[in-house]
């Protein structure tokens, strides 16, 4: 059946710029963890002007649009709904520009450039973009979700490293905010409206990022700890003594590690028996080994900690890549282990042990068959509290169990410990209810006003912030 919008889009973007067949659409319609829908078509503009033309055409036809980056988001925000009426606006062809200003230590980059592509381009110049994670997102998607990642402790999140952006608003107006300055206090810094707001105010087509010198050496250790308090003691000691070079502090629970070793037979088990928690500690520096031997520094410091902590810890020094592989395979291994209900929450990090214990106690009391497979960025107070149903043994989680469990855990985090129900994955249909519940009414009013200005037809995205 002919569709005037699709025909106009093909005229504007060319046949490569629009996908309509079910097989071509499939990878854009299914989210990484949550989210599945049906798209009217996939528009793939290759320039800012084409993004603007796409949004103008969609506005003329009253079509709703969901921007999509690499589709690695974890809250179902990058896929269309089930109506078959939404256009997916994929940025994957807007990926040519990577312009480094080495002396300024900044880079201008297209919104559809992948993180890996950016880092490959920066490598020969001795730089990298240090917002680092186990997925390979696009820069525009990273801005829209304000990606955190495993080295936030040292380098901050996307917001912290973002100097400027170019955005196309919902009706096709182009807002250029391509600031390249680190110091520029000249009123409203409007780029922040588009950071972490999941694309509902506009489509990010370009960004100016500050980049960091690539570390010349790293040293990594796994420290097995008996309980969460010992993990926090270790973190405080390392920050006090080695804060300048501490670049990551990630924590994996026994159950999360067990899933990795079950599904990744190639990975070596670093501990004879798995501890309750293992902290992955990484030091990084641009100094050469002749000036500072990081491996020796880490071994000495952890040795003193081991002496003081006695048998509550177990230190394994070794191949950093191997330890990071364990960490980065958790998500995938859990998916293979059963059906997962995932929580990306944060609390003040001093509360992490108590919070985790409360969740364990709740499960033991009311849902003993559900396994807690937690891991995450303890250095930033973030934890991925994944609940796992072993499908072969106990089947899938019933909808009423999910409906009962979700609000209890979010309540522990938000009301019990002053935490967040979405530490780093942003807002999407998966957690819209909790946005509605926990966001102050005045913030929602402000978001509604901004939405009227940025996206007058209220047609962008699958989330409501106002």
Strands 98-101 and 174-177: unpaired
- Is there a contact between 118 and 127 (Cβ–Cβ < 8 Å)? no
Examine residue 261 and tell whether it contacts ligand FAD (CB under 6 A): no
- Is there a contact between 215 and 285 (Cβ–Cβ < 8 Å)? yes
Examine residue 145 and tell whether it contacts ligand FAD (CB under 6 A): yes
Examine residue 204 and tell whether it contacts ligand FAD (CB under 6 A): yes
Q: Which residues lie closer than 8 Å to 266 by C-beta, 6 or more apart?
A: none
Please report which helix (H) or strand (E) contains residue 286, including its range: none
Measured CA to CA in angstroms, residue 295 lies from 215, 217, 288 at distances of: 14, 9, 12
Question: In whole angstroms, what separates CA 164 from the centre of its chain?
Answer: 20
**Minimum distance from residue 39 beta carbon to ligand FAD (Å):** 13
Examine residue 320 and tell whether it contacts ligand FAD (CB under 6 A): no
- Is there a contact between 279 and 236 (Cβ–Cβ < 8 Å)? no
The residue within the footprint of ligand FAD, chosen from 17, 37, 45, 73 (CB under 6 A), is 73
**Minimum distance from residue 236 beta carbon to ligand FAD (Å):** 23
**Minimum distance from residue 172 beta carbon to ligand FAD (Å):** 14
Q: Using CB under 6 A, which residues numbered 48 to 67 contact ligand FAD?
A: 66-67
Q: Per the structure block, which two tokens stand in for 249?
A: 């502090």
The residue within the footprint of ligand FAD, chosen from 80, 149, 275, 397 (CB under 6 A), is 149
Examine residue 383 and tell whether it contacts ligand FAD (CB under 6 A): no
Q: Using CB under 6 A, which residues numbered 339 to 378 contact ligand FAD?
A: none
Examine residue 134 and tell whether it contacts ligand FAD (CB under 6 A): yes
The residue within the footprint of ligand FAD, chosen from 8, 48, 54, 72 (CB under 6 A), is 72
**Minimum distance from residue 391 beta carbon to ligand FAD (Å):** 21
The residue within the footprint of ligand FAD, chosen from 425, 435, 451, 455 (CB under 6 A), is 425
Measured CA to CA in angstroms, residue 126 lies from 41, 129, 137, 152 at distances of: 41, 11, 22, 20
Q: Alpha-carbon torsion 80, 85, 88, 89, what sign? A: negative
Dihedrals phi, psi of 242, to nearest 5 degrees? -130, 20
Q: Which residues of this chain interact with ligand FAD, rule CB under 6 A? A: 32, 66-74, 77-78, 91, 111, 133-135, 137-138, 140-142, 144-145, 147-150, 198-199, 203-204, 331, 424-425, 461
């Amino acid at each position: 059946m002919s569709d005037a919008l699709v025909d106009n889009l093909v005229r504007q973007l060319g046949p490569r710029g629009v996908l309509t067949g079910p097989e071509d659409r499939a990878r854009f319609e299914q989210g990484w963890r949550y989210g599945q829908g049906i798209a009217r078509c996939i528009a793939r503009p290759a320039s800012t002007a084409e993004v603007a033309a796409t949004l103008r055409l969609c506005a003329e036809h009253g079509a709703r649009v969901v921007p999509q980056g690499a589709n690695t988001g974890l809250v179902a925000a990058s896929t269309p709904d089930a109506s078959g009426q939404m256009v997916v606006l994929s940025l994957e062809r807007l990926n040519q520009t990577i312009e480094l200003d080495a002396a300024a230590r900044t880079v201008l980059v297209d919104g559809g450039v992948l993180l890996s592509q950016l880092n490959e381009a920066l490598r020969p110049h001795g730089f990298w973009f240090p917002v680092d994670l186990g997925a390979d997102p696009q820069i525009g998607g990273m801005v829209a979700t304000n990606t955190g990642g495993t080295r936030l402790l040292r380098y901050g999140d996307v917001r912290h490293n973002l100097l400027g952006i170019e955005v196309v608003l919902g009706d096709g107006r182009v807002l250029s905010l391509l600031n390249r300055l680190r110091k520029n206090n000249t009123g409203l810094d409007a780029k922040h409206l588009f950071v972490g707001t999941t694309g509902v105010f506009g489509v990010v087509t370009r960004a100016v990022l500050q980049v960091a010198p690539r570390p010349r050496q790293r040293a990594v250790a796994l420290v097995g700890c008996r309980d969460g308090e010992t993990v926090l003691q270790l973190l405080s000691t390392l920050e006090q003594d080695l804060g300048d070079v501490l670049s990551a502090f990630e924590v994996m629970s026994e159950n999360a590690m067990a899933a990795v070793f079950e599904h990744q037979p190639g990975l070596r088990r670093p501990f004879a028996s798995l501890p309750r928690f293992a902290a992955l500690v990484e030091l990084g520096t641009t100094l050469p080994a002749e000036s500072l031997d990081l491996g020796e520094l880490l071994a000495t410091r952890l040795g003193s900690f081991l002496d003081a902590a006695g048998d509550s810890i177990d230190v394994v020094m070794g191949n950093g890549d191997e330890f990071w592989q364990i960490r980065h395979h958790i998500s995938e291994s859990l998916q293979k282990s059963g059906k997962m209900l995932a929580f990306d929450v944060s609390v003040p990090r001093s509360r992490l042990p108590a919070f985790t214990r409360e969740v364990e106690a709740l499960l033991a009391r009311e849902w003993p068959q559900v396994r807690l497979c937690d891991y995450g960025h303890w250095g930033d107070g973030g934890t991925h509290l994944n609940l796992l149903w072993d499908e072969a043994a106990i089947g899938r989680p019933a909808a009423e169990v999910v409906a009962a469990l979700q609000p209890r855990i979010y309540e522990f985090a938000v009301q019990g410990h002053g935490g967040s129900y979405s530490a780093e994955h942003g807002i999407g249909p998966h957690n819209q209810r909790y946005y509605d519940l926990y966001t102050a009414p005045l913030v929602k009013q402000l978001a509604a006003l901004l939405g009227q200005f940025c996206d007058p037809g209220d047609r962008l995205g699958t989330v409501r912030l106002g």
